[in-house]
Amino acid sequence: MRQAKYRHRYGEERRNAPAHRQYLRLDSRQAVERFLASLPADATGRQIHSRFQETEMSLTIRRAVREDAPLILRFITDLAIYEKAEHEVKTDVAGIENSLFAEGSTAHGLVCELDGEPIGYAVYFFNYSTWLGKHGLYLEDLYVTPKQRGIGAGKALLRHLAKLAVARGCGRFEWSVLDWNQPAIEFYDSIGAKPQNEWIGYRLAGDALKDFAAG
């Protein structure tokens, strides 16, 4: 996720202060269900293809397919530009195709469309809690184009993922958020997500990863 792993942006401008990530969690079925109850009901109730109605607009969430690789790369790049980190995007269309859509890939994508036009995406994967003895769902990226924020697309994607977590019997739904994004933090607090402030995230990447692996 480049400087920040969580891509939920609700019109908040990037701060000049150094960014830090808060790790948040919906850590029980009850918490996830309370979150689901706080959002508008979808018209179909489906887990993989959810449709939401708002006035005359139609929001649709579908699974991303290989042909979406250029679109997803564009969203990734748009997000990086928004975060002033475009230079950190190292992948290309082939990289997306060969990772997110490869046979046996452990990551999955969603595309959100408004009246048939893509306006956002999410990427997620399943992790595991040894304490719970259950899988969890980790949200890697969630992005909605700036012009379409405020119509419920971000909430719709979150709701879709929360439903998926419940359907799969996951014990947790987790993500990270930039510490300056106060509107997002307040929203996550309101749905029952709890910051995991006692944990510090670590990362091995690039040459440091290769050097450590080589011994």
- Closest by CA to 108, choosing from 91, 133, 132, 127, is 127
Q: Write down the residue that tokens 């928004």 correspond to.
A: 82
In angstroms, how far apart are the furthest CA atoms of the chain? Answer: 60
Per-residue tokens: 156 = 């719709």
- In angstroms, rounded to a whole number, what is the distance separating the alpha carbons of residues 13 and 3? 15
3-state DSSP percent of the chain in helix, strand and coil, to 5 = 35, 25, 40
- Listed in sequence order, the residues at least 6 apart from 5 whose beta carbon sits closer than 8 Å to its beta carbon are 21, 140, 141, 175, 176
Question: Annotated catalytic residue: which of 121, 128, 188, 202?
Answer: 188
**Is the distance from CB of 117 to CB of 143 less than 8 angstroms?**
no
143 is catalytic: no
Hey, how many other C-beta atoms are within 10 angstroms of the C-beta on 40? Answer: 13
Angle between helices 29-37 and 153-167 (to 10 degrees): 150
Residues catalogued as catalytic = 188
